């Protein structure tokens, strides 16, 4: 009885081999595998191993080997149909009852499988004949030795358009079979069919189980496309398979990376260099079905294949097409990374020139899909006008909207908005870094961005605190925060100046960022968070003590407009003078530092900085003293 291959594939995927075996043997976990004394020969120490990822059992004592169906057949002494029916019952799968049409279709597929296998063998023979001398020379020039040629079953289709037809005809295969398998092509004028592949180096394409189902051919001379592939047949659909798929399944199960390259020779070069998880599309851009196939290959916690593209414009276009195809199907833990080769290189040339380590370094430098999306929509586009910047933002939002998983879409939207804000933020004045303020990873002043606003600030090392002025600055910081917390409806217009101005008090600085982040959140912004809800949020975030100390008479005695019962207009009118004074002090700090730098080194850059900061103070509306310095008050 013949069962549809799709049904058998589903049956094997539904049943974990270890679960089936454990019902008959006592299994002991051994790393990723399970072991037990072999049930097929007498032994005292276990040499029988079960591997769920690879889907097979193996005994190192007697050599017994097979999949879940083979185990049940052998252990339970059942025939193939009986074993399949038994396992289908365990898996809850209805057993298909083949019709006469199904049986005919199965026999037809079997015939085509046999036909394509015979063609592959003939192509291999031709490569080592006098007719294939040019093909063998080409492969040897590309650095392939005899073992590699044999491993990948490379062959040659001679220029004689009738040779393959005659060879297969002598083995009993009909023209119709050869046409259905994509090996022959029938001319429109009624003449006899002729070979589809002529004067080409041949690359056999296998299915998931390693059976040859199609071919790719590279032309050596004459007219025609550089590569051609078998058209879709009953055995082969180019948008669903990948070159090297059966080998990559094994490599992924062994924990090796899955790498998508662009062509046959790239895959061969990668595999020879130790990257056995290499695959390639078959003459098309990467399809959604192929992406899903990639994720099926990789263990659940590591579903991140590498998409490897040439470093030229065509390679980048191919990468962007792949990103488009992948985005809608992203899911938690299910993504991809993109690696770009140096300009003018492909995996084959890179490995031959620099070795496998260069390829490993390239994979380590691969960028996440979010970085690829940003580059895809921002590189090479004008951003010199508000309209152009808005166009980039709109394009990113449209891409993100295609992601079906709502959680992944939400995180992508947040990430893209952050990138837009950072990339298009106007340059802001630099303010001094208070002694407590953290520095960046390599000692540089830390840069912080205001979520939801276009502002950006850069901190720099500062001098000593200034006594009374510092105390006044701290009170102004308290007033600014108290006003915003009690009147969150003002945040929309005050967010940028609040984010622009770093606070000197470390606890107030933490609270400032907590307020900005809370009120910048999309949900809170859309729902107009009120003062009571904002206080609850800040308290739950660990700022309860500071909020309690801030919202009291010690603050309100200096600024009645900050009280919760003050009108919005009074709060707005009072907030701005406090901000301007604080802004003034920060600019003065910068100016003092700039003058000191100018005294140490009188150069044009330092002179220009002093002049610019003096203009900054003039623009703020605060005056200069007669001696050219600025009043601190």
Strands of the sheet with 212-219, listed across from one edge: 155-157, 200-206, 212-219, 227-229
pLDDT at 630: 28
Q: Report residue 435's pLDDT band, with 50, 70 and 90 as the boundaries.
A: very low
Angstrom distance (rounded) from CA 633 to CA 623: 11
Q: Which residues pair with 228 in a beta bridge?
A: 217
pLDDT tens readout for residues 405-433: 988 999 999 999 888 888 886 544 444 33
User: What is the distance in angstroms between the CA of the first residue and the CA of the last residue of the chain?
Assistant: 97
- Do 63 and 148 lie in one domain? The reply is no
- Do 126 and 179 lie in one domain? The reply is yes
pLDDT tens readout for residues 276-309: 999 999 988 888 889 988 888 876 556 689 999 8
pLDDT at 409: 92
- More confident: 221 or 186: 186
Residue 133 confidence (pLDDT) above 50: yes
Angstrom distance (rounded) from CA 26 to CA 36: 6
Residue 179 confidence (pLDDT) above 70: yes
High-pLDDT (> 70) share of the chain, %: 86
End residue of a domain, out of 43, 61, 91: 91
Strands 367-368 and 306-309: unpaired
pLDDT at 618: 66
Q: Cα 275 to the chain's mean position, in Å? A: 19
- More confident: 460 or 161: 161
- Do 214 and 286 lie in one domain? The reply is no
Across residues 311-338, what is the average pLDDT? 87
Out of 104-108, 445-449, 570-574, which region has the weakest mean confidence (pLDDT)? 445-449
3-state secondary structure 289-345: HHHHHHHHHCCHHHECCEEEECCCHHHHHHHHHHHHHHHHHCECCECCEEEECCCCC
High-pLDDT (> 90) share of the chain, %: 36
Across residues 471-483, what is the average pLDDT? 88
- Do 436 and 419 lie in one domain? The reply is no
**Domain span including residue 381:** 252-424
Angstrom distance (rounded) from CA 491 to CA 566: 16
Across residues 54-60, what is the average pLDDT? 85
- In this structure, is residue 209 part of a structural domain? yes
Return the ∠ at Cα 618 (arms to 624 and 605), rounded to 5°. Answer: 95
Out of 454-463, 518-527, 564-573, which region has the weakest mean confidence (pLDDT)? 454-463
Task: Kindly state the greatest CA–CA separation across the chain.
Answer: 109
What is the Cβ-side half-sphere exposure of residue 448, based on CA atoms within 13 angstroms? 22
Q: Report residue 2's pLDDT band, with 50, 70 and 90 as the boundaries.
A: low
Non-local (6+) Cβ contacts of 376 within 8 A are 319, 320, 323, 399
Strands 155-157 and 48-51: unpaired
Angstrom distance (rounded) from CA 194 to CA 162: 6
- For residues 278 and 339, the answer to whether their CB atoms sit within 8 Å is no
- Do 414 and 288 lie in one domain? The reply is yes
In eight-state DSSP terms, residue 467 is T
- For residues 400 and 416, the answer to whether their CB atoms sit within 8 Å is yes
- In this structure, is residue 565 part of a structural domain? yes
In eight-state DSSP terms, residue 130 is G
Q: Which CATH number covers residue 19? A: 3.90.580.10
pLDDT tens readout for residues 257-279: 999 998 899 999 999 999 999 99
- Do 190 and 271 lie in one domain? The reply is no
- Do 412 and 473 lie in one domain? The reply is no
Closest CA relative to residue 391, chosen from 379, 403, 383: 383
pLDDT at 137: 95
pLDDT tens readout for residues 213-240: 999 999 988 777 899 999 999 889 988 8
Q: Which CATH number covers residue 179? A: 3.90.980.10
Strands 200-206 and 212-219: antiparallel
pLDDT at 465: 40
In eight-state DSSP terms, residue 243 is B
Residue 471 confidence (pLDDT) above 50: yes
pLDDT at 210: 84
Burial class (CB in 10 A: 0-12, 13-18, 19+), 163: middle
Across residues 314-339, what is the average pLDDT? 89
- In this structure, is residue 628 part of a structural domain? no
- Do 499 and 524 lie in one domain? The reply is yes
pLDDT tens readout for residues 63-103: 888 899 999 988 888 888 888 988 988 888 888 876 666 66
- In this structure, is residue 624 part of a structural domain? no
Q: What is the mean pLDDT of the chain?
A: 82
Non-local (6+) Cβ contacts of 340 within 8 A are 309, 310, 311, 315, 316, 319
End residue of a domain, out of 424, 442, 463: 424
- Do 260 and 376 lie in one domain? The reply is yes
Question: How many C-beta neighbours within 10 Å does residue 569 have?
Answer: 10
Angstrom distance (rounded) from CA 222 to CA 197: 13
CA 43, 46, 50, 56 dihedral sign is: negative
Return the ∠ at Cα 310 (arms to 153 and 136), rounded to 5°. Answer: 30
Tally of domains in the chain? 4
End residue of a domain, out of 91, 113, 146: 91
Closest CA relative to residue 417, chosen from 445, 454, 382, 381: 454
Task: For tokens 């009738």, name the residue.
Answer: 162
pLDDT at 105: 67
- Do 492 and 605 lie in one domain? The reply is yes
- Do 581 and 501 lie in one domain? The reply is yes
- More confident: 362 or 461: 362
Residue 569 confidence (pLDDT) above 60: yes
- In this structure, is residue 246 part of a structural domain? no
Q: Which two tokens stand for residue 409?
A: 């879409």
- In this structure, is residue 97 part of a structural domain? no
Give the CA distances from residue 491 to residues 485, 520, 534, 564, 572, in Å, rounded to whole numbers and listed in that order: 9, 9, 12, 15, 10
pLDDT tens readout for residues 496-555: 788 777 788 888 888 888 888 888 764 444 445 788 888 888 888 888 888 888 888 888
Q: Which CATH number covers residue 445? A: 1.10.860.10
- In this structure, is residue 96 part of a structural domain? no
CA 394, 399, 401, 406 dihedral sign is: negative
Angstrom distance (rounded) from CA 219 to CA 201: 7
Return the ∠ at Cα 390 (arms to 388 and 396), rounded to 5°. Answer: 110
Question: How many C-beta neighbours within 10 Å does residue 510 have?
Answer: 15
Out of 22-31, 100-109, 450-459, 545-554, which region has the weakest mean confidence (pLDDT)? 450-459
Across residues 8-26, what is the average pLDDT? 88
pLDDT tens readout for residues 582-629: 888 878 877 888 888 878 877 766 777 777 777 776 665 443 333 333
- Do 613 and 479 lie in one domain? The reply is yes
Angstrom distance (rounded) from CA 481 to CA 546: 11
Give the CA distances from residue 601 to residues 594, 604, 605, in Å, rounded to whole numbers and listed in that order: 10, 9, 10
Q: Which CATH number covers residue 309? A: 3.40.1360.10
pLDDT at 134: 94
- For residues 76 and 89, the answer to whether their CB atoms sit within 8 Å is no
Q: Which two tokens stand for residue 276?
A: 């056995």
Query: Among 3-7, 246-250, 354-358, 417-421, which range has the highest average pLDDT?
Result: 354-358
- In this structure, is residue 562 part of a structural domain? yes
Q: Which two tokens stand for residue 504?
A: 């000197």
Angstrom distance (rounded) from CA 234 to CA 276: 28
């Amino acid at each position: 009885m013949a069962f549809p291959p799709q049904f058998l594939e589903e049956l094997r995927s539904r049943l974990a081999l270890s679960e089936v075996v454990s019902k008959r043997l006592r299994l002991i976990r051994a790393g990723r595998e399970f072991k037990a004394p072999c049930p097929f020969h007498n032994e005292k120490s276990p040499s029988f191993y079960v591997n769920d990822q690879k889907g097979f059992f193996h005994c190192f004592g007697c050599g017994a080997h097979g999949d879940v169906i083979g185990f049940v057949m052998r252990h339970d002494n059942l025939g193939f149909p009986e074993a399949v029916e038994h396992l289908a019952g365990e898996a809850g799968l209805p057993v298909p009852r083949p019709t006469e049409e199904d049986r005919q279709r199965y026999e037809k597929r079997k015939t085509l499988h046999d036909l394509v296998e015979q063609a592959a063998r003939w192509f291999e023979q031709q490569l080592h004949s006098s007719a294939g001398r040019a093909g063998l020379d080409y492969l040897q020039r590309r650095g392939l030795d005899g073992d590699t040629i044999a491993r990948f079953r490379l062959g040659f289709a001679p220029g004689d358009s009738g040779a393959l037809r005659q060879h297969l005809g002598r083995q009993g295969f009909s023209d119709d079979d050869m046409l259905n398998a994509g090996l022959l092509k029938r001319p429109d004028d009624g003449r006899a069919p002729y070979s589809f592949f002529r004067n080409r180096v041949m690359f056999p394409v296998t299915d998931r189980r390693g059976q040859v189902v199609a071919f790719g051919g590279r032309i050596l001379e004459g007219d025609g496309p550089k590569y051609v592939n078998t058209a879709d047949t009953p055995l082969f659909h180019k948008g669903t398979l990948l070159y090297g798929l059966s080998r990559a399944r094994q490599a992924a199960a062994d924990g090796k990376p899955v790498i998508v390259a662009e062509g046959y020779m790239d895959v061969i070069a990668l595999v020879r260099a130790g990257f056995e998880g290499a695959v390639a599309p078959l003459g098309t851009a990467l399809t959604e079905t192929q992406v899903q196939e990639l994720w099926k290959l990789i263990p659940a916690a590591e579903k991140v294949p590498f998409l490897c593209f040439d470093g030229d414009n065509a390679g980048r276009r191919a990468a962007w097409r792949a990103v488009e195809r992948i985005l809608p199907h992203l899911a938690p833990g299910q993504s991809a990374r993109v690696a770009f080769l140096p300009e003018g290189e492909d995996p084959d040339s890179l490995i031959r020139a620099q070795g496998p380590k260069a390829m490993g370094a390239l994979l380590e430098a691969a960028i996440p899909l979010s970085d690829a999306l940003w580059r895809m929509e921002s590189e090479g586009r004008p951003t010199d006008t508000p309209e152009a910047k808005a166009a980039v933002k709109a394009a990113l939002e449209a891409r993100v909207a295609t992601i079906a998983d709502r959680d992944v879409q939400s995180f992508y939207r947040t990430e893209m908005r952050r990138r837009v804000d950072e990339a298009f933020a106007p340059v802001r004045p630099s303010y001094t870094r208070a002694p407590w303020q953290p520095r960046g990873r390599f000692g540089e002043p830390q840069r912080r961005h205001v979520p939801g606003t276009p502002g950006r600030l850069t901190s720099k090392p500062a001098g000593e605190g200034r006594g009374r002025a510092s105390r006044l600055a701290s009170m102004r910081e308290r007033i600014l925060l108290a006003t915003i917390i009690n009147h969150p409806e003002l945040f929309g217009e005050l967010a940028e100046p609040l984010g622009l101005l770093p606070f000197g008090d470390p606890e107030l600085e933490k609270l400032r960022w907590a307020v900005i982040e809370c009120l910048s959140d999309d949900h809170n912004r859309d729902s107009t968070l009120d003062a009571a809800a904002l206080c609850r949020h800040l308290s739950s975030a660990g700022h309860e003590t500071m909020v309690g100390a801030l919202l009291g008479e010690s603050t309100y005695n200096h600024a009645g407009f900050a009280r919760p019962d003050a009108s919005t207009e009074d709060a707005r009118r009072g907030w701005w003078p406090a901000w301007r004074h604080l802004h003034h002090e920060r600019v003065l700090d910068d100016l003092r530092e700039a003058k000191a730098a100018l005294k140490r080194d009188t150069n044009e850059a330092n002179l220009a900085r002093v002049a610019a900061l003096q203009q900054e103070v003039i623009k703020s509306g605060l005056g200069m003293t007669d001696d050219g310095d600025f009043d601190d008050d």
